[in-house]
Structures are given as C-alpha cells and as structure tokens.
Structure 1
C-alpha cells in the first residue's frame, strides 16, 4: 500500500446515509411549514432554523468539515459570522437613522 493510499481517510458509508435521511426529514418539516400555512415570525423562524440545520449537516459531513482541524474550521466559519454581526449593526443603525429622519424632518400638515 502506498503512502498516499494509507494517508487517505475513509469514513463509513453509514454516516452519509444517516445524514442523507436526516436531510430528507428536515426538508419534510420545511415542507410542512408551508403545507400548514404557518404565518408570521414563527414561519420565518422555523424556515431559518431548518435551513441552518441542513446547511450545517451538509458542511460538516458531505464537505468533511467535521474531520478538519479546528484552525481550518475557524478560518471558514468566523468571517461569515463577522459579516452577520456587521450586517446586524448596520440594520440597527439604519432603523435609528430612519426614525430620526421621520421624526425631525417630517412635514407639518397644512391648516
């Protein structure tokens, strides 16, 4: 056996099948959210939670991030998390600016 073959890590196929089935179950739950006409904040919360769970399983198992070094995992996950934090801060500031503009620059009604 060559060194390249010995260094190659093989994972049991059962892990991939279990995650594949779990992805189908999560997709089924996502479908049920639409089927039962869930509305409002609950709908979007469920959709986003199911989406993040599915993406996490795909990245962890099918993209082999579960078996990578911690430094590589941080190098891949921390930049998107930092972007999400910055987007949240910009969203909060935009609401603040919009509120101030409507409060201070609103046109008084004519009499």
Structure 2
C-alpha cells in the first residue's frame, strides 16, 4: 500500500510542475510570435524597399525582434520561465557569453578584413 501511495504522489507532483502553461497561453504566445514575424516581413518587404531604408538601420531592428522571439520560445515553449532560478541562470549566462564572443569576433573580423585589403 505504501508503494502505491508514493507512486501516486510522485505522479501528482510531476503534473503540477508546468501547471501554468495552458492551451490558451500556448496559443497566445503563438500569436505573439506570429505577429512579430509578420512585422519582420512587413519591414523587409514593404517598409524598407519603399522608403529606401538602409540595412544599417533595419538590421538592428531585425536583431531586436529576433531576440524577442527567442525569449518567447525559450521562456514558454522550453518552459524556462517556470523553472528555478539556478537552472535559468545555468542556461542564460552561457548564452550571454556566446553573444559577447560573437560581438567581439565580429569586431575583430572587421579589423582583419580591413588589414588585408
């Protein structure tokens, strides 16, 4: 009898872990991601060509919108928003270091390309 009780208790605790992620919230996040993607396409296909906006202005906008989409995907679909702080930091801190490394390497690549020309 005690084995059944512990099994049922374990199963019940497993279901409550991501209890706040409902079908309604999944659809809400989906439509937010869809809206952000539509804004990106609208900028790329309508706004930028008609107004003649250069890529130096449009690219940072794309980067910000893409990072916003990445946040929603990681937070809700990968359930990182509902995890404990330690696990979230274990995933987010290395990503920040990777982003910093990419920025530094991008800066250095401009230096090396300029030297070769």
One fold, TM greater than 0.5?
yes
Misfit runs of 4+, over 6 Å: none
Larger Cα-atom Rg: 1
Aligned partner of 2:103 in structure 1 is 88
Q: Distance in 1 between matches of 2:100 and 2:82?
A: 27
Structure 2: runs of 5+ lacking an equivalent: 49-53
Give TM-score scaled by structure 1 length: 0.76
RMSD: 2.2
Higher helix share: 2
- Alignment length (residue pairs): 102
Q: Distance in 2 between matches of 1:24 and 1:66?
A: 20
Checking the alignment, whether the CA contact within 8 Å between 1:60 and 1:66 is kept in structure 2 is yes
Aligned partner of 1:4 in structure 2 is 10
Structure 1: runs of 5+ lacking an equivalent: 107-111
Q: Using CA pairs below 8 Å that are at least 6 residues apart, which structure has the higher relative contact order? A: 2
Give TM-score scaled by structure 2 length: 0.72
